[in-house]
A and B are shown apart, each in its own frame.
Chain A
Amino acid sequence: MSGLGTTSGPVLACGEVHTCLLPTSDAVDERAAEQLLRLRTDEPVRLSRHPSRYAVSPGLLTGVDCWMPSVTGTRSRAVGTVTARAAIVEGRVLQSSAYFSAPACGPDRRQSWGHYLVRPGCLIPVGRLPVRSVAEGFLAGPRQNELDIGPIAESLTARISRHRILDLSPPLTTADTSLRWTATPAAGGKETSVLFTKADDGLRTVELRLPHATTPAAAAGLCEDLALHDWLLTTVAYKLDGLQAGYEDSRLLKVLCSLVDHLLHLWMPLSRVDRTLHTAWEELDENSGYSRQWNALAQRIRDQLVLRAVRSRSELLTSD
């Protein structure tokens, strides 16, 4: 696949990542993950064990012929396929991701499908692509009749959730998130930049400028990693937030334990991100202090558990 900004390569990549807790009581093992992600018979699920267990489905293509999103209202049409894939992290978190890339221009007339299918995951504009307007429109959310790839990702999550090996009783309630992203080649001189925004309904947007020749798949990989860690941080922070006063000890203990059992070990930024893109995370982390916040939360959970253990021991001693 050719990278961003290369001659004849794409000038824009866009995607959406849905992240949720796998709806089952315990983390699934490698075999179950493979079963869940076997979305095609002709291509295998890829598994990796280091530095954490990770399984990713083969890519699925969805053909589209549609109006591109736009902020300016200029209508532009594109034809081609959107790639989608699902991944399971440590048997515990499910991510579905849909993305496409697009070159600056294409033939002035709609070609036959054969023309579009030779470049999987690519949407080829009919005529010129108003890149900025499409990128901004994509992040703002598609309007009626414009391309919306959210449902493509969502339908993978739905399909996997229906699988019978999941018992549908997750150890804790968590809210899903959607992360919508765009990537364009960085202007000469500057390497990368990241602009991350958060709305309260679980939607995040990320505007990336990435090094020349970054492949759309690598950009999607970076965004899946961002989405995973944002989801972890949001989920754990929310759970602790709700725990202040008013909770009985047994309930509190249950929540703390489920966080330890199921989520705390998942924090491992960049473990699967292309090396050339590490600066994007580093910049984001520098500015928003994600890792520092995560460490503080994790420490708080452990402190609470230790405190409780000490307290119940001293209660035992005094009651003797």
Chain B
Amino acid sequence: MLVLAASDKGGTGRSVTSANLAYQRSLDGDDVCFLDFDFGSPTAAAVFDLPDGVHRAEGCGLHSYLQGRTGEPLRIDVWSRTEHPALRDRPAGSGRLVLLPGDRTGGEFLTTEENRHRLVDLVLRLQREFSFLFVDLSAGRSYAVDLLLTATSPHAGLGRLENRWLVFHRWTRQHVMAAAELAYGSQGLVHAGTAMGHQPDVLSGSIRFVRAAVPDLESPLWSQVSPAQYVWMRQCDQALEELAAGRGIGKARVLASIPLEPVLQWQERLITDEDVYDRGIARNETWQAMKDLAQRLTIDTFWGQW
């Protein structure tokens, strides 16, 4: 399965959350590959705690591969290369976790036929080896988005692969509107995809939203606020919920809400069970939300068109 992580803006939590999803699926025993297609700011290597990842990828990362400057993109085995202390011992029963880092070298990038063929061949190769391919796409209707959108249309090379889009956004007015625009706007995924040969209902049935860094007003984090603040925030939350529903990204289209997590506010990283249970630094709710979201990727009742 191809999981395509998109967002209209930067800073939505797309990279960090999707890296955590990849990690969760591999803990469950799935063989997982993470492709960093955020060519503007390839951050996956940092999230997986692979400090030399960006440097090593120079000239042989995904960008170089698509442009034909290297025959095979660099692969980094996360379990064996990460410097995250809790990850170095690959847990029993876990699957593979491999990162294909992005590189920013080289200038312009066009979605030519040639790029698309190279992408298709790469994905077909990888999908023999991995049951999940997570693709972190640059923000907006970027060329990375267009490349994947064309390649996954029914008659293109990846049309037969099951693919699911996750649109990430923060829980603010601006972000809600931008996310809806990215999915359903006149320049959005569904419109653009339809022009590329996608069936609009099938495509929009394969798009779900992930709200990231959502403040949960009932959590202890907010227990110290004044009653006036609490009421005001409740109203905001309510208003956002209505705005989202009005734009077609209400609850039914949301795959998960990831709570605001102090650890992630301080550091872009994977949340491990050790962080939750042994060190007590991350919140159980965050860990659980990531786990649920990872599971829902393959629960069909969460997907499809109504």
Interface-central residue, B91, B120, B129, B162, by most chain A CB under 10 Å: B129
Q: Is B236 an interface residue (CB 8 A)?
A: no
Question: Knowing A242-B95, A247-B29 touch, does A174 contact B129 (C-beta < 8 A)?
Answer: yes
Contacting pair B160 A20 (CB below 8 A): no
Q: How far is the CB of B98 from chain A (nearest CB, A)?
A: 10
Pair A168/B124 contact, Cβ less than 8 Å = yes
CA distance A104 to B64 in the complex (A): 39
The 8 A CB mask of B103-138 against A (1 = contact, 0 = none) is 000000000000000001100110111110000000
A95 to B229, CA, bound (A): 66
Nearest chain-A residue to B159 (Cβ)?
A: A164
Q: Does A62 contact B (CB under 8 A)?
A: no
Tell me, yes or no, whether A23 is within 8 Å of chain B by CB. Answer: yes
Chain B contacts for A242, CB-based, 8 A = 29, 93, 95
Contacts of A170 in B (CB 8 A): 127-128
Q: By the criterion CB–CB under 8 Å, are B125 and A246 in contact?
A: no
Which of B92, B121, B130, B161 is A168 in contact with, Cβ under 8 Å?
A: B161
Q: How distant is the Cα of A272 from the Cα of B120 in the complex, in angstroms?
A: 33
Interchain nearest-CB distance for B31 vs A (Å): 4
Residue in A21, A158, A244, A251 whose CB lies within 8 Å of B92: A244
Those of B67-112 within 8 Å (CB) of chain A:
71, 91-95
Cβ-based interface call for A29 (8 A): no
Q: How far is the CA of A173 from the CA of B131 in the complex (A)?
A: 6
Tell me, in angstroms, the Cα distance from A168 to B157 when the chains sit together: 11
Contact B128 A158 (CB under 8 A): no
Query: B residues within 8 A CB of A167?
Result: 160
Question: A162-B157, A164-B160, A245-B92 are contacts. A251–B29 as well, Cβ < 8 Å?
Answer: yes
B130 in complex: contacting residue of A173, A245, A246, CB < 8 Å: A173
Closest residue of chain B to A23 (Cβ to Cβ) is B128
A151 interfacial by beta-carbon distance below 8 Å: yes
Q: Are A246 and B160 in contact (CB under 8 A)?
A: no
Given contacts A158-B124, A161-B124, A168-B160, contact A175 B129 (CB under 8 A): yes
> Which residues of chain A (171-218) have a CB below 8 Å from chain B?
173-176
Given contacts A20-B128, A176-B128, contact A245 B93 (CB under 8 A): yes
What 6 A-B pairs come out closest when comparing CB atoms? A246-B93, A246-B92, A173-B31, A161-B124, A158-B121, A245-B92
Further pairs besides A23-B127, A162-B121, A247-B29: 9, Cβ < 8 Å: A158-B121, A162-B157, A168-B124, A173-B128, A173-B130, A174-B128, A175-B128, A242-B93, A244-B92
- What residues make up the interface of B, taking CB atoms closer than 8 Å to A? 29, 31, 71, 91-95, 120-121, 124-125, 127-131, 157, 160-162
